[in-house]
Structure 1
Amino acid sequence: MDATTSSGLRPPQAKKRRRTAPTAVNALGNDVLCMIFAFLDLIHLIRCSAVCKSWRTVINKLKLLQIQYHNQHPTSSGGGNDLPRFSERSINIQMEQLAMDRQRSSLQEGEIDISQWKAHAVGFNKCRMKMGLILSGGGDKVMRLWSAESCKRLDEYFLPDKAPLIDFDFDEGKVVGLLGTRICIWRRIGKREIISSLEGLFTRGMCLSYVDPLAVVGCEDGKVRVFDMYSRKISQIIKMHPGAVSCLSFTDEQLIVSGSSHGTISISDLSSDQRVITLDTTSSAGIKTLCVNPSSYKLFAGSSTGHASCWDLRTSRRLWETRASPNVLHSMHHLANDKSTLVVGGIDGVLRVIDQDSGNIQSRCIVSENSNMAKRVVKVVTAHGDKNIRVWKFDCENDKG
């Protein structure tokens, strides 16, 4: 017999837990925030100022950033009476430098978190990353757009026919693809349609570089053809190399920098339609990738023999050359405004971080075979010639300012 039934007793009811609403970011008053912020160092103040407008207002009103910077750099910031002028002159520079220092530290010494997923049904070896988005494409006649943060697929862009996808690029409004001897444009916003140039618009395209409204195509005949996407016509043809153009890059001054399969690098001015200069290269090894840093006026190149080189675009003088890999280098990138580190990917599957000033290799990360990569902030995206994409997230182990 059940004892509780016979005696009429009931088990005690479980105590109900009172649910409390989560604390909002603006729940703390200004006085409390002032006391908390007063204990923070400069780098944590910078992070707090980016959380929300109300926190930034408190920090700016009390000039906490300026005071902390002045305490850390008393000689460079001037006297206390010069604080307003000093703030405008130095804080932005300091914030950018702190971000670059953390970026460099993360790439060299930070922990690595790797996310990998199947992106295509067949192997592919091209990817681009911008604005936290990854665009991948290859042999299955489709380009896919992914979130670099969640790794989820956001959109698809199907190729219109059997023409091979040679190269591609994208921005907020469109995807631009080089398909054989023509260019196709996919709209990302509004009505979904494909805009295609005429077939046979140029001889076989080898590479593409896109800056709205122009798409620049490097061709097998050594010429660069500039395609105006609004008129859908070739606006300029520039002879750059005796051999095939293998890679392209732009500078802020609207110069086209191109590399060839014979190892030459040429720079042409879009406004003059003339070749400006040919850089002195040490070998005939094909140039596989180019990267321009407009902040430092440096040009970086990777070759089929694994050499990485650097030139000063103002003097056309080579600054350094290093054997970064025993095999071909496929891609190299740097963070915007970063003058210190360069990330290089090659066919040997090793991700290398190189010092932009000296060419010294600062760190190596082992990945799988044959990688192409794109870099943004402390994320490196790699395509490995198989079906997968990897996102490498570099994070500093210690959070020191």
Structure 2
Amino acid sequence: MGPTPSSSNDRSERRKRNAKTTIQSLEPDTLCMIFALLDFFDLVRCSAVCKYWNTIINKSKLLREFYAKQKQNSTEFSNKSTCSETSLKTYLEELAMEHHRVSLQEGLINIDQWKGHSVGFNQCRMKMGLILTGKGDKVMRLWSLESYKCVEEYAVPDTVPLVDFDFDESKIVGLVGTRICIWRRNGKRSIFPSNEGTFVKGLCMRGNQRFQCHEILVGGVALQNGGLKERRGKCYCATLSYNDPEAVVGCEDGTARLFDMYSRKCSRIIRMRAGPVTCLCLSDDQLILSGSSLGSITVSGILSDQQVATLRSRITIGGIKTLCYNACSHLVFAGSTSGYTSCWDLRTMRSLWETRVSPNVVYSVQHLRSDKSTLVVGGIDGVLRTLDQNTGQVLASCVMEGNALSSSQNTYGATEKRKGRRLSEGTPIDSIPKSARPPITCLAVGMKKVVTAHNGRHIRLWKFNS
């Protein structure tokens, strides 16, 4: 005989009572009551958690009401919906950037460190809540920023080294030897074959996080006629762009070669300089910027094939090691082999400031998109520095404390929780143990966080709390 209706109802009631209540099980009205207790910034963060929460918060108009109180003009704000949407968006962006700036400059620092590779790696990228690491062993790994778990793994062909890489929401693009590999996020890999040519290998590839992947700029190789056509002259660098249908390669002979990604043909060759191109970046207004070992930056037009200007330093700063362009402020930032970070205004082509931040090479300079106030710099001395984008003033200098506070295990080893320490002005760097400041070979900036690579086995995530 089957269970009686009363016994089935009793079991059902017991299951309901024993079931755990989660945030997902709450009704919209209950969530609205909870959201109404939050401050403005936490409410904005909640709206970005998922589509469900975003819909509830927007329908409740809590954000609009908060903004109206801030502006003390709720009548005008509610009557002009188009204006209010634009104003609210601008205000939210400004608020987020201010929290980001204050956190980098003054906030407490928590550092999570975990083993990511079996041998040293020196490249990292961060976007969309994910970190991609690699270059050193034969694998790239994609990590969750929330759990620090490896969510995907991509093997590199055994016979060639991984030179550089970048990623978007659907694929990983890597330069391996003289060939481009594309790994789909579903695990499938395709390799563009290398045709005849004189390039032995490519040396680097850079990603521009503003775009989605439609074009590739690679060091030592260029796509043409269905494969990789290697060109004369050793290639020192390249930039990986994700929007316009062109690829740009910087070469030893001082040229930048543009390749159309759809026709797979070289569209033009631009003479950048007399010497090798050591690094590249692109502006939003069809300009190519290339660094040299002599410390100058050449600006040329993509469409005109003409040199527009040469950005020179007011002092000798050594060779340009890395370039970064801020599309919001039109400022160009460079890191040099002699430890200087420099800035030029691309609208006036004038040098704004030069600051020596490291005793030797600056490997990476980066900023958060839309942030016009702070620049994060890492170099050979292993100190993570925050600079003012407009003046070059060093706002903060940080290193990791020596002792781990706690640790937890994952598939690849222990995740250690540590504290970061802010250095006071004038602190002698040599007095800080090198174990707390291994050279920063690469860094990526997110909202109130920075991920760094150190040519070691560990991934280091700096979290700044305002």
TM-score (norm 2): 0.72
Task: Give 5+ residue unaligned stretches, structure 1.
Answer: 1-15, 397-401
- C-alpha separation between the residues in 1 aligned to 2:59 and 2:147? 36
One-letter identity of the residue aligned with 2:300? S
> Which range is displaced more, 197-206 or 87-96?
197-206
Pairing partner for 1:87 from 84, 88, 104: 84
Pairing partner for 2:106 from 106, 109, 114: 109
Show the counterpart of 1:184.
Answer: 180
Deviations 1:116-173 (A, max 9, x none): 2333333332222232333333233443333333333344444446444433323234
Deviations 1:162-217 (A, max 9, x none): 4444333232344333345x341223146422123425313222222111444322
Pairing partner for 2:284 from 252, 257, 276: 252
Per the TM alignment, residue 40 of structure 1 is displaced from its structure 2 partner at its CA by: 4.5
Q: Which runs of 4+ in 1 moved over 6 A?
A: none
1:386 aligns with 2:432: no
1:288 aligns with 2:321: yes
Structure 1 residues 267 and 178, CA gap change in structure 2 (3 angstroms):
farther
Deviations 1:48-70 (A, max 9, x none): 44456666556545644333323
- C-alpha separation between the residues in 2 aligned to 1:62 and 1:145? 37
One-letter identity of the residue aligned with 1:195? F
- C-alpha separation between the residues in 2 aligned to 1:136 and 1:352? 21
Deviations 1:271-322 (A, max 9, x none): 2222222112232610011111101111111111111111111111111111
- C-alpha separation between the residues in 2 aligned to 1:310 and 1:184? 32
Structure 1 residues 158 and 270, CA gap change in structure 2 (3 angstroms):
farther
1:297 aligns with 2:358: no
1:308 aligns with 2:327: no
1:222 aligns with 2:221: no
Contact in 2 for aligned 1:157/1:186 (Cα 8 Å): no
Residue 278 of structure 2 aligns to a residue whose secondary structure is strand
Show the counterpart of 1:276.
Answer: 308
1:365-376 correspondence to structure 2 within 5 Å: 365-366=398-399, 367-371=436-440, 372-376=442-446
- C-alpha separation between the residues in 1 aligned to 2:170 and 2:16? 50
Structure 1 residues 150 and 206, CA gap change in structure 2 (3 angstroms):
farther
Structure 1 residues 289 and 60, CA gap change in structure 2 (3 angstroms):
same
One-letter identity of the residue aligned with 1:172? E
Show the counterpart of 1:206.
Answer: 236
- C-alpha separation between the residues in 2 aligned to 1:119 and 1:305? 30
Show the counterpart of 2:419.
Answer: none
- C-alpha separation between the residues in 1 aligned to 2:367 and 2:271? 29
One-letter identity of the residue aligned with 2:255? K
- C-alpha separation between the residues in 2 aligned to 1:337 and 1:292? 11
Per the TM alignment, residue 379 of structure 1 is displaced from its structure 2 partner at its CA by: 2.5
Residue 124 of structure 1 aligns to a residue whose secondary structure is coil
- C-alpha separation between the residues in 2 aligned to 1:216 and 1:301? 19
Contact in 2 for aligned 1:176/1:183 (Cα 8 Å): no
1:2-401 correspondence to structure 2 within 5 Å: 19-25=18-24, 27-28=26-27, 30=29, 40-51=38-49, 56=54, 59-61=57-59, 63-74=61-72, 77=73, 80-85=75-80, 87-160=84-157, 162-180=159-177, 182-189=178-185, 191-198=188-195, 200=197, 201-202=230-231, 203-212=233-242, 213-282=245-314, 283=316, 285-366=318-399, 367-371=436-440, 372-396=442-466
Contact in 2 for aligned 1:264/1:284 (Cα 8 Å): no
Per the TM alignment, residue 249 of structure 1 is displaced from its structure 2 partner at its CA by: 1.3
- C-alpha separation between the residues in 2 aligned to 1:362 and 1:107? 8
Q: Percent identity?
A: 54
Show the counterpart of 1:4.
Answer: none
Between the two proteins, the alignment pairs up a number of residues equal to 376
**Greater Rg by CA:** 1
One-letter identity of the residue aligned with 1:27? L
Contact in 2 for aligned 1:166/1:205 (Cα 8 Å): no
- C-alpha separation between the residues in 1 aligned to 2:190 and 2:28? 52
Contact in 2 for aligned 1:145/1:156 (Cα 8 Å): yes
CA RMSD of aligned residues (A): 2.9
- C-alpha separation between the residues in 2 aligned to 1:174 and 1:193? 11
Deviations 1:350-391 (A, max 9, x none): 100111111111111115321121222223121112232212
One-letter identity of the residue aligned with 2:68? H
Residue 98 of structure 2 aligns to a residue whose secondary structure is helix
- C-alpha separation between the residues in 2 aligned to 1:318 and 1:90? 33
Residue 198 of structure 1 aligns to a residue whose secondary structure is coil
Contact in 1 for aligned 2:322/2:364 (Cα 8 Å): yes
